[in-house]
Amino acid sequence: MNRSTLEKALGLPEPWRVVKDEFSAEERRLDITIDFEPGSTFPCSNCGAESKAYDSEMRTWRHLNFFQHDTYLHARVPRVACSQCGIKTVDVPWARQRSGFTLLFESLIMTLVKEMPVATIATLIGEHDTRIWRVLHHYVEEGRKKADYGKVERVGMDETSSRKGHNYITLFYDLDNKQLLFGTSGRKQGVVSEFAEDLEAHGGDSNQVRQTCSDMWPAYIKGIRDCFPNAAITFDRFHVMRILNDAVDQVRREESKDRKELKQTRYLWLRNPDKLTANQRQIMNDLPTHTLKTGKAYQIRLTFQEFFTQPDRQTGETFLKRWYYWATHSRLDPIISAAKTIKEHWEGILNWFDSHISTGILEGFNSLIQAAKARARGYRTNRNLITMAYLIAGNLNYGLPT
Ligand SMILES: [Zn+2]
């Protein structure tokens, strides 16, 4: 092959040039050896001062395939004896320090990861997946170093399960930019202060955060109060509704011990009437809903839902007080208990009328993250899951060649 064509294809600047290329059709492999002009000087990778090579070390990088041929670059990488910094390995233009892949190859990995699981990429390019994860972690970390969270004022937080059982990560989002800001293991109170620290490290200001949205997990509430003194908490309406849904289901489960017709009707009661299929509506119509405790609990839940469509906070509070009276006099224990939970979170539920924020956008990201996790059949570590979350929702700039 013409070496100057190869040099152009690789975008090799002075003093680097292609000195050898070996092409093996049987092994489907192309090996390109690069070297520098004798006597060349190189900038110190730390301070930039130029000096001649002190010694060098042979290195190999995986590069983009040349058609179907695995392609490798080989070069002796010079070290300089910098008068300021000591012995330093110089930066080569085609790869970052200590990576076994060229920048273009890493750029390919970062493109592929949007489309397919890491294990599939590993098979496709014939490399172990830990090498691919190393690349992903690196670029996500680089992207996050450059990220500026200076304008963050409204934060949504949510947990997502990381592995089977009770393993969680907590994700914090900018609700205005619709961007993942921070992810960390666990869902204890400390995760909120970890986030506050990270926010400040990225030009953000905890005092500037005015609104937060989360579920009613006590550790989150305490964390927000401690770390974001100027933030009002809005409890996410979907999580609030879930409390009512769970209460209706408890009533149904209890009642179905005597009323066999309630078996396998769980999902009917979780839906709104207009969302039922014709078949489900028929089943519902055939049930004596007016005499069932479950029917009563369902009506209480449907009415609670109308709270969110009230025109303003004052009307909303009047509505909620009436509903609370009705619910607590229902003689249905799960409903009474749900109503008490609502009472304990009164202000944060009413704050909906001021902020109109919910974690709805987070649920969208959450399902993308869970789908990626399912395709990967789970991740070995929380770190992998969090890196994947940043790749999906972080909107980071990786500064890679394209
Ligand atoms: Zn130096």
The pTM is what? 0.88
- For 27, phi then psi, to 5°, come to -85, 0
Residue 87 Cα to ligand 1 middle (Å):
8
The encoded tokens of residue 205 equal 């200001």
Nearest alpha carbon to residue 307 among 273, 334, 346, 270: 346
**158-177: pLDDT as tens digits:** 999 887 767 899 999 999 99
Residue 96 Cα to ligand 1 middle (Å):
17
CA-based Rg of the chain, rounded to a whole angstrom?
29
Nearest alpha carbon to residue 294 among 310, 278, 279, 283: 283
Q: What secondary structure letter does DSSP report for 13?
A: P
Task: Specify the pLDDT at position 264.
Answer: 82
Q: Does CATH number 2.60.40.1120 belong to domain 146-236+358-393?
A: no
End-to-end CA distance of the chain: 24
pLDDT band at 363 (very low <50, low <70, confident <90, very high): confident
SS3 77: strand
Check whether 334 has a pLDDT greater than 70: yes
CA–CA separation, 315 and 300 (whole Å) = 18
Burial of 196 (0-12, 13-18, 19+ CB in 10 A): buried
CA–CA separation, 2 and 32 (whole Å) = 12
CA–CA separation, 325 and 340 (whole Å) = 11
CA–CA separation, 99 and 132 (whole Å) = 11
- For 257, phi then psi, to 5°, come to -65, -35
Residue 33 Cα to ligand 1 middle (Å):
27
**228-271: pLDDT as tens digits:** 999 999 999 999 999 999 999 999 999 988 888 888 888 888 88
Residue 246 Cα to ligand 1 middle (Å):
64
CA–CA separation, 173 and 364 (whole Å) = 12
pLDDT band at 377 (very low <50, low <70, confident <90, very high): confident
CA–CA separation, 228 and 64 (whole Å) = 47
Task: Specify the pLDDT at position 293.
Answer: 93
Check whether 1 has a pLDDT greater than 70: no
Residue 79 Cα to ligand 1 middle (Å):
11
For the chain, give the longest Cα–Cα distance. 95
Residue 48 Cα to ligand 1 middle (Å):
6
CA–CA separation, 7 and 29 (whole Å) = 18
Residue 81 Cα to ligand 1 middle (Å):
8
Mean pLDDT for the stretch of residues 262-282: 86
CA–CA separation, 229 and 182 (whole Å) = 19
Residue 51 Cα to ligand 1 middle (Å):
9
| Average pLDDT of the residues of the chain | 92
Can you spell out the DSSP letters for 98-130?
A: T-SB-HHHHHHHHHHTTTS-HHHHHHHHT--HH
Task: Specify the pLDDT at position 50.
Answer: 94
Q: Where are the domains of the chain?
A: 3-101, 146-236+358-393, 237-355
Task: Specify the pLDDT at position 289.
Answer: 80
Residue 41 Cα to ligand 1 middle (Å):
13
Residue 49 Cα to ligand 1 middle (Å):
6
